[in-house]
Structure 1
Amino acid sequence: MSGETARGTKRPAAGAAAQDDIVTAFQVDALDLRGRTVRLGSTLDAVLAHHDYPASVKRVVGEAVTLAVLLGSSLKFDGRFILQTQTDGPVDMVVADFVSPDKIRAYARFDAERLAEAERRNETSPAALLGRGHLAMTIDQGISTNRYQGVVALDGTGLEAAAHEYFQQSEQIPTRVRLAVGEEMKAGGAASSWRAGGLLAQFLPQDASRSRMADLGPGDAPEGMATHATDEDDAWVEARSLVGTLEDVELIDRELSSERLLFRLFHERGVRVFDPLAMMAHCSCSRERVSGVLAAFSGEDRRGMIQDDGKVSVTCEFCGRTYKFSAEEILGGRTDG
């Protein structure tokens, strides 16, 4: 096992058979395959604890958090990766915000009446609750650097399928993503906990011509029109098939370590596993940050925010923390229109 660790990250405690709240990078040289796995336990619980979401919404948020960690943990610089959905489903918006190297927060917006109707119809999979719209993925390196944003359609098939389409269209990297979220019930009436797991595998041969992928579907092309066929590399076909055998229960099994999971998948080809990186739930909001946001509004807008008690209250969507400011504090900033 390699001794490499990413700059600024913390190592989980050594010696545990299985560890939670970690990202583990791996490499299968024989298949020109690189990737990462993520296991989330108490970190996911901490993200969800700030909101009284129904179980079906928690699954949606869990998938978004897992995908954000899988993608955001690849950043090689201090910055943030923001995953956001805007859709027509009962859960019409989800935001997962990953701050490198190890912090995650998230929240969702949903329509309670539409969610109840979906539950009556037994249409509560994360893909069904998201519905159709788009998924935006933003990389932000700070105020001195332009943001990069990729947008891909959500067509009712969920975040896994959207991630595959993004890498095929925008990055042109053969990629497979697996996401799983589950509720762990506890005996004696104790509160349940949530677990999530994910795997990202990418085919990255030195010869770029080997990474050609089959074209996207012809869309509205006339029926019977011939499509361009591309022979995919045998190594990628094998790797994709192996990832396809992965079961949800394996990704969230408390007793199955990332190392053992990867050995199950790739032991015949040989897999190198790197030191895991610990993850945590953390909200970056603060009184100073909120004050700075308020100061950006015009004086008239700030005056309009003052409530009957003479204060302005701002609640963080991510963690639920409420910040209160007096009228004097609010109007002491910029007051020009």
Structure 2
Amino acid sequence: MTSPLPLTTVTANLDEALGFAIPGRNARGRIVRLGPLLDHILSAHDYPAPIARILSEALVLSALLGSLLKEEEGQLTIQAQTERGIVDLLVCDYKAGELRGYVRFDPERLSALPSHRDLAALFGKGYLAITFDHASAQERYQGIVPLEGASLGEAAQSYFSQSEQLPSVVRLAVDDTGHVAGGMLVQHLPEGEEGRDRLHTRLDDPEWEHVRILAETVKGAELTDPALPLDGVLWRLFHEEEVRVFEPVPLVKGCRCNFDYIKGVIGRFAADERAGMVDEDGFISVDCEFCSRVFPISVKDFGD
């Protein structure tokens, strides 16, 4: 069946997540492209290029997975933590279209690294934890897999294979300028319905094999080209299929730190504990690594 996707007027589709389904092949997916939002998040820290690239990929992955959440208050968190890695902590989260992320790394060891795109060299031995918080049901689901593979996308595919038993294709890309990043997630839906029993998923399902082969032909340049609409990427890949495209989800920078929130957290400590946090100027200074801001809370605000 010919896809109803039109080659519409060229639009950048920057800072959006677009959901789609291929009902005839029992598949669903997300495609994401980040632009100004990426610059906004990266500008909080003076990251060197290889660290900015891995954070960009993680932000795209967070948008791909987070946009799967059906409830507005749900949250998706990705955390990569390592032992003796140059990057010892990477964390990103997504909530209601808001993205944030941060990387902690050793700059001296990074400067001595011969290959900056080697995932194992950057992270060493570590793990990837993906956590879905479902607020309405007050449930949290976390999957943890070894941080293995040539890229963060391959590590994410391992997560779905091992933790979800859900055949998936994950592709992440950052353009040469470092100012645009994109990605695509395509998944097989057992019996064609979300929420169905996954025990009978076949990794060699012929419908999934067809979609997987097509999805794996996507190029990084297509995912990051601002002149190519996201539905245009889908047209190139699946033009012989019926593809249903959903309303795009706008993405924004969303650090949830603010003065009142931080004051409330500090206020939960006992007065003697707060006294131990006070600097010589009479303030308790709280750093937010996500946005690189310092919040000075006066001890006088608590009446101590």
Query: For residues 180 and 295 of structure 1, do their structure 2 counterparts lie closer, same or farther at Cα, with a shift above 3 Å needed?
Result: same
Partner Cα separation in structure 2 for residue 22 and residue 131 of structure 1? 32
> TM-score, normalised to structure 1's length?
0.80
Query: For residues 315 and 164 of structure 1, do their structure 2 counterparts lie closer, same or farther at Cα, with a shift above 3 Å needed?
Result: same
**Other structure's SS at 2:112 match:** helix
Q: Deviations 1:194-224 (Å, cap 9, x if unpaired)?
A: 11101000111417576222xxxxxxxxxxx
Partner Cα separation in structure 2 for residue 285 and residue 317 of structure 1? 10
Q: After TM superposition, list the pairs within 5 Å mapping 1:287-326 onto structure 2.
A: 287-326=259-298
Q: Which amino acid aligns with 1:99?
A: K
**Other structure's SS at 1:305 match:** coil
Partner Cα separation in structure 1 for residue 163 and residue 300 of structure 2? 49
Query: What's the Cα RMSD here?
Result: 2.2
2:131 is matched with which residue? 138
1:160 is matched with which residue? 153
1:107 is matched with which residue? 102
1:200 is matched with which residue? 185
Q: After TM superposition, list the pairs within 5 Å mapping 1:7-156 onto structure 2.
A: 16-77=10-71, 78-88=73-83, 89-100=85-96, 102-118=97-113, 121-126=114-119, 128-142=121-135, 145-155=138-148
Q: Unaligned 5+ residue runs, structure 1?
A: 3-13, 185-192, 214-231, 333-337
2:118–2:150 contact (8 Å) kept in structure 1: no
> TM-score, normalised to structure 2's length?
0.89
Q: Which amino acid aligns with 2:223?
A: L
Partner Cα separation in structure 2 for residue 331 and residue 156 of structure 1? 54
Task: Kindly state the Cα deviation for residue 140 of structure 1 after the two structures are TM-superposed.
Answer: 2.5
Partner Cα separation in structure 2 for residue 32 and residue 144 of structure 1? 27
Q: Which amino acid aligns with 1:75?
A: L
Identity %: 42
Query: For residues 87 and 330 of structure 1, do their structure 2 counterparts lie closer, same or farther at Cα, with a shift above 3 Å needed?
Result: farther
Task: Kindly state the Cα deviation for residue 170 of structure 1 after the two structures are TM-superposed.
Answer: 1.8
Query: For residues 326 and 35 of structure 1, do their structure 2 counterparts lie closer, same or farther at Cα, with a shift above 3 Å needed?
Result: same
Task: Kindly state the Cα deviation for residue 285 of structure 1 after the two structures are TM-superposed.
Answer: 0.6
Partner Cα separation in structure 2 for residue 296 and residue 63 of structure 1? 36
**Other structure's SS at 2:276 match:** helix
2:195 is matched with which residue? none
Q: Deviations 1:121-165 (Å, cap 9, x if unpaired)?
A: 124445532232111112234498243222111135332122112
Query: In the alignment, does 2:158 pair up with 1:171?
Result: no
Task: Kindly state the Cα deviation for residue 177 of structure 1 after the two structures are TM-superposed.
Answer: 0.6
**Other structure's SS at 1:194 match:** coil
1:87–1:93 contact (8 Å) kept in structure 2: yes
2:90–2:103 contact (8 Å) kept in structure 1: yes
1:294–1:330 contact (8 Å) kept in structure 2: no
Partner Cα separation in structure 1 for residue 122 and residue 264 of structure 2? 35
Which stretch of structure 1 is more off in the superposition, 269-278 or 66-75?
Answer: 269-278
Q: Deviations 1:146-196 (Å, cap 9, x if unpaired)?
A: 432221111353321221121112211111111111242xxxxxxxx5111
Task: Kindly state the Cα deviation for residue 91 of structure 1 after the two structures are TM-superposed.
Answer: 1.2
2:10–2:228 contact (8 Å) kept in structure 1: no
2:223 is matched with which residue? 251
Partner Cα separation in structure 1 for residue 263 and residue 134 of structure 2? 22
Task: Kindly state the Cα deviation for residue 17 of structure 1 after the two structures are TM-superposed.
Answer: 2.8
Q: Which amino acid aligns with 2:37?
A: T
Q: Deviations 1:222-267 (Å, cap 9, x if unpaired)?
A: xxxxxxxxxx111111111111111111110111111110010001
2:75–2:132 contact (8 Å) kept in structure 1: yes
Partner Cα separation in structure 2 for residue 168 and residue 130 of structure 1? 21
Partner Cα separation in structure 1 for residue 136 and residue 218 of structure 2? 40
Partner Cα separation in structure 2 for residue 156 and residue 260 of structure 1? 29
Number of aligned positions between the proteins: 292
